[in-house]
Amino acid sequence: MPKLIWSANLGEYVVDLKESPDGSQWAAAAAATGQIAIFDAATGEQKHALKGHALGAHVVAYSPDGKVLASGGQDGQIKFWSPSSGEELGRCPGGAPWVTQLAWHPVPNPKTGFYELVSIAGKKLRLWDANGAQVRAFEDSVATVSDIAWLPPFDKRELVSVCSGNALVLDAENGVVSGRRKLPNGVLVLSCSPDGKWMMTGHQDNSIHVWNLRGSTEAHMRGYESKVTRLSWDSSGRYLATNGGAEVAVWDCSGKGPEGTAPLMLAWHERTVRDQAFQHSGSSLASVDEGGFFAVWRTQVSGRPPAPLFHGKLGSGGTVLRWSADDKILVIGTESGWIRAIEII
Amino acid sequence: MKSESRIPVTVITGFLGSGKTTLLNRMLSEKHGHRIAIIENEFGEISIDHELVVQTDEEIFEMNNGCLCCTVRGDLIRTLGHIAKRRDKFDRILIETTGLADPGPIAQTFFMDDDLKNQFCLDGIVTVVDALHLLQHLDDAPEAREQIAFADRILLNKIDMVSSQEVEELEGKIHCINAPATIYRCVRADVPVEKVWRVGGFNLDHTLEIHPAFLEPEQPFAWGGVFHLPEGHAKISFHSGHGCSCNGHPEQVHGATSEHEMPSEFLLAAFPVASAWSPDFPDKAAADARALFSSEKAVPVANNVFFLPDKKLRSLDLKAHRGSSFLEVGEEGCYALFTSLSPESCDLRISVGEKEVEPEESRSFKPVHHHSGDISSVGLSLDGDLDEEKVTAWMGRLLQEKGADIFRMKGVLSVRGKDERLIFQGVHMTFEAKLDRPWGKSPRHNALVFIGRKLDRQALKAGFTACMA
């Protein structure tokens, strides 16, 4: 049964939520106040309230070694913080009024030994090291960059950036464009499968597109009730869960991929699903909707239609949902600013 | 549809230099107590620092649904999506576009995106027009015509730079493109803010209040009135528009741009009616006048003397007669007079001796426009109830076939079996329909307006009429 183990209040719409790599703390970002708060993972006690970003925050990201917390927001800045002391270590300009996305490369740069972070702000893509020094500024994108991802398996330092009509593979070593694909318009989100085989994009026209990164094939799946804003892979890289309406569609991407197959539909929510996530190593999936209902599913069922193992309700619409590293705790942010940690036994 | 809780959005369009930023600054500096977020597409000198100002790069894309006109603005979806996440909600959003922006994708964004649809409503499109350069822009720039066509409200700005007669002419041009829009004449974009916002979406009721003649069929005359005239001599005076000092405007102001294109001919028809209060006016009299205006070739007024009763369509040569004609009234009584120009535009007066005779009753009609471009508006009006299925099917088919040419559509419909008014509004192929307040005691009625390119009034009317229950 699910059991609420702690609650914390950020006072504003929770736009992002991340667990530190050692599992000791969580960082959350607030919409309009731009505050960044760090909570103790065991008790929910607020350890630090960071000033964050004037006008609003968008994103928080722990460096893979957990030594730096980076954040970005509507003041056009990328800020670097010490997760243990809450001290601001440095700040850098993203190049445009809103810094909307940050992504750390999981492996340190072998030449310098530093972890590197890519930032997107409007059409600007910049690469920083963990000290806040700019490694490079990439050439401006032709349109506002919607999303960005480092390409698995991370042996090469390549990243994909998507904007309306265009996907670029960029080589972070030398800043050059190493690949280019034409994308359909109105791209919202991007995600690469952990095995580096697939790239998925969610689009404004209620569709997702599947790109085989090792070949040249492309397929698309339509029929979503609304736009797909979250793409979540399971740990094996075989299953991809997507929102896009009140149901979560889970695609099997093994073999030749999901084209022409029917997804497993997880139907229980009555309102649009805002976020969903697979466990890090287990096979359960959790989902939360805009009405504040959340559900936990076991996805490998056959025969009968899937039903939630557990479900519950929060005080306001869910905005972001994460599993703790040990897969035991579900942490959910809400519109009204509450963060709830729920133990799933 | 949670219309009451949605945040209203006002879009301000207009050419560079028309006065958009002046208007925006005016809206921000007034003490209205509203919290406003501003989305700008070009760098404007906004003189405010406590509101949220976001600059975005215009990003238009097609919706991949095979329909070329289904374009939306990605930058607005993103930006408004972030604004919607704030718990301290704004009372209003203002979007200031670039001078050359196409309002279509902006308006469609509010119909096409589910999240935006639930959280924001397009309150109105306000187009600021520079009176001094409008004619040039209408000739040179299709964007200017489209910005006017999409507008709910038009600010005819900088009217101090042109003569009042030119202002009339400009309004006429604007009306040719977009008849239902409300036009405010102003200098330095000085209009009360409530005129600019609280448009209430496509407020058709308001449009009809301001232009009751809008939904009527076009008439071959602009004005009609009933005069009580005594037997004997009278005088009709008018200004031809040539060489005059228009309404007190100093000659030098419009001297440079003189040569107004006033018609050289003035058509009028006069015939007796039973009495000033007779139910004949305006309907029966207008029908009689229409018969005269449409079927007869105008007979010039001979020797500048106009005899009553007459019952013929007459033409007066405005150049030759230099300002006045004589009226010989054979019999005291009430006469209906219908004219091809409005009395204001030619300063028409009737006088007996030194005394001016006021019409007992009068009204303006919607004159036939000789459209200079292909953008126009069509208003349709029908009494009775519509069949919901038929009207939905017709509308769907119409928008699918002609959506690219229909810029905007708005309607207030009376559907059989529904107590509430059905409100329709659309941009190109996208539309939303929702039930509004109940009809209550007001008479049930259908009004529908289209603004677009190559509109076929007859076909639209036939299609609409076929939807009757």
Which CATH number fits the domain that encloses residue B440? 3.30.1220.10
Asked if A205 lies within 8 A of B64 by C-beta distance, the reply is yes
Residues B200 and B273 grouped into a single domain: no
Of B141, B175, B210, the residue that ends a domain is B210
Residues B321 and B438 grouped into a single domain: no
Domain residues for B397? 375-465
Of B364, B385, B411, the residue that ends a domain is B364
The residue among A13, A14, A99, A185 with the most chain B CBs within 10 A of its CB, best to mutate, is A185
How far is it, in rounded angstroms, from Cα A100 to Cα A120?
A: 6
Mean of pLDDT values over A302-329 = 91
DSSP character for A245?
S
What would the two tokens of residue B426 be? 């659309």
Report whether B28 contacts B93 (CB < 8 A).
Answer: no
- Distance, in angstroms, between B88 CA and closest chain A CA? 7
Report whether B129 contacts B13 (CB < 8 A).
Answer: no
- Distance, in angstroms, between B54 CA and closest chain A CA? 8
In DSSP terms, A295 is beta-bridged to A287, A311
Asked if A143 lies within 8 A of B64 by C-beta distance, the reply is no
pLDDT given for residue A290 in this prediction: 96
Of B317, B341, B364, the residue that ends a domain is B364
Query: Is B445 inside a domain boundary?
Result: yes
What would the two tokens of residue B169 be? 């002419």
Query: Is B311 inside a domain boundary?
Result: yes
Asked if A336 lies within 8 A of B113 by C-beta distance, the reply is no
The pTM of this model reads: 0.76
Predicted-complex ipTM score: 0.88
Residues B313 and B453 grouped into a single domain: no
How far is it, in rounded angstroms, from Cα B225 to Cα B348?
A: 12
Mean of pLDDT values over A31-58 = 95
- Of A88, A86, A64, nearest to A78 by C-alpha is A88
Domain count for chain B, please give it.
3
Residues B57 and B158 grouped into a single domain: yes
Asked if A13 lies within 8 A of B63 by C-beta distance, the reply is no
pLDDT given for residue A124 in this prediction: 96
pLDDT given for residue B239 in this prediction: 66
What would the two tokens of residue B398 be? 């119409």
Asked if A56 lies within 8 A of B64 by C-beta distance, the reply is no
Interface residues of B toward A, Cβ cutoff 8 Å, are 52, 54-57, 59, 61-65, 72, 74-75, 77-78, 82, 85-88, 113-115
Asked if A32 lies within 8 A of B64 by C-beta distance, the reply is no
Range from A84-88, A241-245, B296-300 carrying the lowest mean pLDDT: B296-300
Long-range CB contacts for residues B421-428, cutoff 8 Å, separation at least 24: B422/B388, B423/B201, B423/B202, B423/B204, B424/B395, B424/B448, B425/B201, B425/B202, B426/B111, B426/B395, B426/B399, B427/B104, B427/B107, B427/B108, B427/B111, B427/B150, B428/B69, B428/B70, B428/B104, B428/B108, B428/B399, B428/B403, B428/B404
Residues B190 and B235 grouped into a single domain: no
The residue among B70, B87, B111, B113 with the most chain A CBs within 10 A of its CB, best to mutate, is B87
Query: Is B318 inside a domain boundary?
Result: yes
Residues B21 and B163 grouped into a single domain: yes
Residues B322 and B402 grouped into a single domain: no
- By the 10 Å C-beta count (0-12 exposed, 13-18 middle, 19+ buried), A299 is classed as middle
Residues B194 and B237 grouped into a single domain: no
Mean of pLDDT values over B257-286 = 69
pLDDT given for residue B2 in this prediction: 41
Residues B64 and B162 grouped into a single domain: yes
- By the 10 Å C-beta count (0-12 exposed, 13-18 middle, 19+ buried), B10 is classed as buried
- Distance, in angstroms, between A56 CA and closest chain B CA? 8
pLDDT given for residue A98 in this prediction: 92
- Distance, in angstroms, between B110 CA and closest chain A CA? 13
Query: Given a cut of 80, is residue B283 above it in pLDDT?
Result: no
pLDDT given for residue B206 in this prediction: 55
pLDDT band at residue A252 under the 50/70/90 scheme = very high
Query: Is B221 inside a domain boundary?
Result: no
Query: Is B263 inside a domain boundary?
Result: yes
Query: Given a cut of 70, is residue B51 above it in pLDDT?
Result: no
Among B54, B85, B114, beta carbon nearest to A226: B114
